[in-house]
Structure 1
Amino acid sequence: MTKLQLITSELIGHLERLSKDASEISWMTAFTMASGVRKVSPFLKEAASRGTTIKILTGDYLYVTQPEALRLLIEELPQAEIRIWQSGGASFHPKAYLFRGKRDNHTLIVGSSNLSRSALTTGVEWSLLAPSEADQGVFEEANDRYLELFYHEVTVPLNRETLAEYERLHKEANQSKPISTAWSEAEETELMLGPGESQEIAETAETYSAEPLTPRPAQEMALNALRATMEEEYDRAMVVLATGLGKTYLAAFFAANFRRVLFIAHREEILLQARNSFLRVHPGKTAGLFNAAEKKTDADFTFASVYTLGSRHNMEEFSPDDFDLIVVDEFHHAAAPTYERVLDYFKPKFLLGITATPDRMDNKDVYAICGGNVAISIHFLEAIERGWLAPFKYFGVYDDTDYDAIRWLGSRYDEEELLVAQLRDEFAEKIFMAWQEHKQTRTIVFCSSIKQAAFMNEYFTANGIRSAVLHGRTGKEDRRSATGRLETGRLEVIFTVDLFNEGVDIPKVDTLLFIRPTESLTIYTQQIGRGLRLADGKSHCVIIDFIGNYRNADVKLAVFDESGTYGEKRGRFTEPAVPAVCEFNLDLSVVNLLKEMAKKRAPRKDALVAAYFELKRELGRRPDYLEYHLQADADSRAVKQEFGSYFGMLAYAGELDDEELEVWETYRDWFIEVEKTGMNKSYKMVVLLYMLSRGLKHWTDPVTPEEVAPFFHRYLMEKEYRTRADLSDKTGQRLIEYDETRTADLIAKMPMTKWSGSDRTGTISFENRSFSIRVKNGSGLSSRVIHDWTRQIAVYRLHFYFEKKEA
């Protein structure tokens, strides 16, 4: 057996040798220097030319990584996938080099060498080379952990946009606080330990009394919806079931219709729990794991880690048509690159996405993946009204922390500055008093960081409370022990960081305490679900939520609004309408704060703009309107409310050049008309789409209903969901079989006459069977911009219209 090998110098030679035979190269270094990139780029370029997959993850910790090095990576390795870990001040200090070779001949190198000339050649660095012959499982586990970090939510792809942003931050950081050559003992300890991983605890087995298992009411509703979906010949669908309604068992019951099933998730614990659930429903079937430790490929039910399956080498262990049904758990993750590669490879008879996150703004990026088909969505408020989940009593407590004074890093607050504000005895006392006033028996407290959780735990313990801290660095046995003690009442409180989000079930938890700024509405919704499960002796859940002037404070309450219209009325704050069995209480100071935010609405505008820039960083270019709707972590409806148009938002964000800005200011009324004209049917935008299809020079030329008719009919008939939405009623049924006269008459009566009659800009007219748009076509770039922006709005509105019809 090949043994481990210690490397104390000239690591570069080993990297070059291993790159020659690798099918996948995956590197991760805390710091990257231009000198190191110049050393490795020749043989990495050669590997890329052979079709080798190359991934490189580097970090921004202390802004040591050189912008020049990142620029070289973009220029020298355009085929490589490169991402930056945004540390937010927390330590990021790994150095690992993975090579997947032929015939299971893989190599892992872990040590002290960053990507610099000195570290790779003559510097004093130690590394351990571990060939897979020594331990195959170690390499596969390392590969899984690498992919978890590579596609972690705090990473961004390296492209021109993110490079420019890094250059600016690098310059600012090194002007205000030059990089120190010496770290304190505490800093050195943290550097060596590295960041904690976000981990979740799997749901405990659901309590069915006896065999045979039968679906619960919510699951039966979902199964009926899925049967209807299959009868309509859909081959994919998404099901949104609020936490506690048994989405995993739903998937197991649905699996009875299929021969072989692939269940994909991003957490090991979720896979194990899902396997147990499926076998309880189907005791005669076989089940196997496909993860770092085990790779069973012939079972009836295969439960796969997306990180293991995301490797091309592992994916090709299966044929694309091996599975009749693929189930993707926590489907709101499915737009991530790892999932996309897997879903692009496999060709199942049916794809089922399941998620417990009902907020549409967090699911819309996966709309295209499920073919626009949301089979059923049961919001937690509906589940409460039906008696399937516990009601809640919500208490919004005023947090007087000045979050405006804390630096915002694009997606979260600066960790060190936030800690200064949070680790105050007076703040801890206020939290403790609010908890004492409203608490019940078992509490989960959601914190921003490990340091905050430890600080609050010490404060509660000093006041005689039985409490504990759980986070990603806590061992599995300690986590199980703590959750078990909370369940039995031996613990009163657990302080946690990014642990109780997905796939957690402690039914007896009856109090939730939020002492962190809400940054993600998805995670906030998942965390609320932790307290809503039914349990013996539990009448309701208490939610204690500290609300300050942090970002998203004025929109977070949208998760309590099932209609999806919360916050649409500008300048006004209203409390969400919750079920009668629930209570919603806000401190007067909170009400005043939210009213003030509603008047200014700057936080809402800023959130929309921040989502735009986040997506721009991800794409490396300006996203178009539909891309923003589908992929940005924002509700695109708010764009129209706040800015009049998507392009109004770009003007507000400083994203338009001088000529584009002039186009916006000159043609603002036209763009807003296209954005806001009423659409009971899709017909107006279909007519506009036809006019735009005639090209840059002629799109504003007058058109007759007869000319539009063939395009109009073809557009509505080419997709079943369009036909179902707009040709299935009395108005449209006669158009199923194409007849030019009937189609032209409908076009004249519906979109053309109605649009010209409702237009207040004087732009639209319809006279003597001639439909006109009086928009002066500019010259050169202006003309192209007007045409392109009009097309973007029309495409977005059509997509949004049919999306709502299918939801």
Structure 2
Amino acid sequence: MSKIDELRLGFETAYIDGSVVSSNIYRPQFVSNNHKEGKKVLSSIEDELLVCDGFQISVAFITMNGITPLLQTLKELEKRNIKGEILTTNYLNFSEPKALKKLNELSNITLKMYDVEVANEGFHTKGYIFRKEEIYHIIIGSSNITSAALTDNREWNTKLVSTVHGETAKEIVTEFNELWNSNYALTFDEFYENYNERYKIIKHQREVAKQEEITSIEKYKLQPNSMQIGFIINLKKILEAGEDRALLISATGTGKTYASAFAMRELGFKRVLFLVNRGQLARQTKKSYEKVFAESVSMGLVGAGYHEYDADYIFATVQTLNRDEHLLQYEKDAFDCIVLDEYAIIGLSQEAA
């Protein structure tokens, strides 16, 4: 019996009469997790990987516990030089960097990340495309590459079987290729450093928010933008190179204060002096920093009637610290880092004049 005849018989079993006997290989199927029947989405994906000539996967989320049970199979494919393309996304910053790095280490896999922020659109696909000669097996539905989705959750997926000329398979593969070749689909080297840094900061920020007796939704949702991530990465490189000064130039409203707060926290500075030109700015900056930090550091104001000299993080006005009675409260090496706000720089220039 030819493959086309096998396909027709499989379609009849799947869509017309379930009593018709046909081969599983050519029969569309419902793919789900069902403990009572011993069914797992993971098993279906593994079975397809082991017999395919090549594969393409597009999923919104990838976690380490999702790829771990697949690693042995993927390494077997690496030995056989069976190539695969995996497209994921930075949607909700959910995918785990260590899982993405592990996949990228496999020489037969090319990994890309679709940037939903730049594209300004959502990305929630879950599709697994396997090709064997002129036949496609495509599992498409609700399962991301996470442990729960592949083994435990109630997940609904359909396995389609088609020749390479089938209309539906063509549409799915074309859609994948459009996303894969899009300007928004970044290679591993293009996305990983920034995504990894942002993932760590967001995770840290959520831990900070949860430490409060009543979790602050405002703090929990606070996350760095692309400018702030770039600043933190570059600042780390500057410090690692042995430099002790850095300048951040960014437009008004892009978040320079939060950029400095995230940087101070992630770099682990214990004592910091933040200089501004007005008392109101000092108070505003202190409030911004409080949203980023837990109670691991104390924060105080010096200036505009405040004299909280002993705090770990000091927010002070130039005019106040310019007077010896305040400046001499501190040793020359009292602070790990000094941050000068643009207004403080203007203030210092005026004082110097």
TM-score of the superposed pair, with normalisation by structure 2: 0.49
Which has more strand, going by share of residues?
A: 2
Which structure carries more relative contact order (alpha carbon 8 Å, separation 6+)?
2
